[in-house]
Amino acid sequence: MKHLERHLGRLRACFAGMPDPRRGRNRQYAMADVGMAALSVFLMQSPSFLSHQRALAEGRRRSNAHTLFGLDRIPCDNHIRQLLDGVPTEHFDGQFHAIVGDLDAHGALAPMRRLDGRTLVALDGTEFFR
């Protein structure tokens, strides 16, 4: 769990440094929270994660979004898309390499090494549409 917390902390800092396209006073959510909310959808693998977390929060006063990702308020998915669409992918390169390097250093990638030490990676086809 300590590795996950460290990586989530690094990602939160990276998200806080994302360019913010908003002008004026429309800044209800910090960019770090917007990024963490987007990440949470992928990590929890739920198509309706944000609405489910809101329902949990209403019933229990806390949800995974609060405990794992440190979100006090959850932005809606449209708001997340509007704010993240313009962020260049290069913004995340350093974090990607740091996290993969840390996982490799701790042996987490060893079970995926095959074919002369190459790492097997499952792809979901997103590059096809890029």
pTM over the 0.85 mark: no
Name the residue with higher pLDDT: 74 or 110: 110
Given phi > 0 = left and psi -120 to 50 = alpha, else beta, which region is 107?
left
Q: Could you tell me the residue range of the domain that residue 13 belongs to?
A: 2-129
Distance from chain centroid for Cα 75: 14
Average pLDDT for 102-129 = 79
pLDDT of residue 118: 83
Residue-wise pLDDT for 66-85, tens only, equals 777 777 777 877 888 888 88
The model's confidence at residue 12, banded by pLDDT at 50, 70 and 90, is: very high
Residue-wise pLDDT for 15-57, tens only, equals 999 988 888 777 788 899 889 888 877 776 666 666 666 665 6
- Angstrom distance (rounded) from CA 92 to CA 58: 33
How many domains is the chain built from?
Answer: 1
Name the residue with higher pLDDT: 2 or 10: 10
